[in-house]
Amino acid sequence: MKSSTLKLTRKIQITVDLPTKEERKEAVNKLYQWQNRCYRAANLIVSHLYVQEMIKDFFYLTEGIKHKLADEKKDELGILKGSQINTTYLVVSKRFKGQIPTDILSSLNNTLRSSFNKNKSDYWKGLRSLKNFRRDIAFPIRSRNIIKLSYKKEKKAFCFRLFSIPFKTYLGKDFTDKRRLLECLVDGDIKLCSSHIKLKEGKIFWMATFEIEKEKHDLKTEIIAEASLSLEYPIVVKTGKTKLTIGTKEEFLYRRLAIQAARKRAQVGATYCKSGKGRKRKLKAVDKFRNTESNYVSHRIHVYSRKLIDFCIKHRAGTLILLKQEDKIGLAKEEEFVLRNWSYYQLMNKIKYKADKSGIELIIA
């Protein structure tokens, strides 16, 4: 049976809500300490999980060595002092006791164990390498760690406490659904799931995960909409005798190439710019184009996928088929120009997400 709910993750900027600069600095330093301990703990956890899984393959050990991953009190061949699922948590909690909340370590341990179990057959066959975590890892937090979430009119922000540290959100000119989701969360209409805290370039981001009900539309599974992705038209969809082309080559591809050309001209011109205050001033024109292309592509793909799903809802199509995508993906890999400038995977991911949210069954043929 299909789930009636859907999980959404939104990146929300937050700031420490303390009166003095010294207090804010102390709180931020604590967050960076938690991030560092999480980074070290994550690498330790996956290393121990790998050794536990591969210990039976250590054939070069002397005979008589016990290798059964079980509690020695419950099994005479067991080599563990407790349950297997608790071993990695004991390792990191003992090493980092008092340096990081145990709830973070427990959540991290459960997440990494689940991920490891999904891929352990590939690890054993040598098809996948073990994960290696970076220092800027986002550390997990459970929903119960977020307390006293409410909207404060005097601060014009949503405020909450995380492990006794007060925070407030910064939404700016929010043109997305973040504010609406937070309002629904405060009212109790939706549920908050395990989330993450990300520290990047001196800013703090709350990667909040919400569980919401899927949209309910009057759809019929026997009504089928067939769509295809191409370079000439981003999306062509038809159902019955009705056909719709979404976007054009000129609108998407040529605009993207124009942004790339403008960035290249700025890079060439940067050679003759006055340095003044060094690299930052010299590359000021180039930096303007840093995210221009990706933002444009993301926006256009969002618009195209939204129009596709709206077409299906309008014609009550409960099934959406993407035709001949394997052939087109193969062609895109062969043609470097197409692979570089045509975002097949990103477009397919957005279509999949929006179809799932609207209750439309997606089939990739």
DSSP per-residue letters across 50-119: HHHHHGGG-TTSPTT---EEEETTT-TTEEESS-HHHHHHHHHHHHSTTTS-HHHHHHHHHHHHHHHHHH
Give me the pLDDT at residue 53, please. 78
Give the domain ranges of the chain.
Answer: 5-16+146-213, 30-125, 220-364
Mean pLDDT, rounded, of the chain: 81
Q: What is the mean pLDDT of residues 328-341?
A: 54
CB atoms within 10 A of CB 81: 11
Mean pLDDT of 335-345: 59
Q: Report whether pLDDT(297) > 50.
A: yes
213 has pLDDT over 60: yes
- Across residues 133-160, what is the average pLDDT? 89
What's residue 76's pLDDT?
54
Output 74 or 11, whichever has higher pLDDT: 11
Least confident of 91-105, 241-255, 299-313, 347-361: 241-255
With a CB cutoff of 8 Å and minimum separation 6, the contacts of 144 are 103
Q: Would you place residue 258 in the very low, low, confident or very high pLDDT band (cuts 50, 70, 90)?
A: confident
Q: Are 146 and 206 in contact (CB under 8 A)?
A: no
Handedness of CA 113, 118, 120, 126 (dihedral sign): negative
Mean pLDDT of 266-288: 74
- Stretch 311-322: mean pLDDT: 88
The tens digit of pLDDT for each residue in 224-238 reads: 888 887 767 778 888
Of 204, 286, 231, the closest CA to residue 34 belongs to: 204
Dihedral over alpha carbons 238, 240, 242, 244 (to 10 degrees): 0
Q: pLDDT per residue over 18-70, tens digit each?
A: 889 999 999 999 999 999 999 999 999 888 888 877 776 655 555 555 555 55
In 3D space, the residue among 121, 113, 119, 178 whose CA is nearest the CA of residue 151 turns out to be 178
Determine what percent of the chain falls in helix, strand and coil, rounding each to the nearest 5.
45, 25, 30
Q: How confident is the model at residue 177 (pLDDT cuts 50, 70, 90)?
A: confident
User: How far apart (Å, rounded) are the C-alpha atoms in residues 193 and 45?
Assistant: 23
The CA distance from 250 to 232, in Å, is: 9
Specify the CATH class of 220-364 in words.
Answer: alpha beta
Which pLDDT score, from 0 to 100, does residue 339 have? Answer: 47
Can you give the pLDDT at residue 94?
85
Location of structure tokens 């120009």: 337
**Degrees (nearest 5) of the Cα angle 182, 185, 186?**
90
Structure tokens at 10: 């939104």
d(CA 7, CA 357): 9
Higher per-residue pLDDT: 252 or 158: 158
CA 162 vs. chain centroid, Å, equals 21
- Please report the pLDDT score of residue 329 as a whole number: 58
CB burial class (10 A; 0-12, 13-18, 19+) of residue 302?
A: middle
Query: How large is the average pLDDT for residues 185-199?
Result: 90
Percent over 70 (pLDDT), the chain? 84
Q: pLDDT-derived band of residue 342, with 50, 70 and 90 as boundaries? A: low
Position 2 scores a pLDDT of 64
Span 61-112, pLDDT tens digits: 555 555 555 555 555 555 556 666 778 888 888 888 889 898 999 999 999 8
> Higher model confidence: residue 70 or residue 349?
349
Query: What local confidence, expressed as pLDDT, does residue 256 receive?
Result: 80
Identify the pLDDT of residue 82. 60
Pick 319 or 252 by higher pLDDT: 319
> Which DSSP state fits 238?
E
**What is the predicted pLDDT for the residue at 66?**
52
| Section 252-264 average pLDDT | 82
Q: What is the pLDDT of residue 166?
A: 92
User: Would you state the pLDDT for residue 207?
Assistant: 92
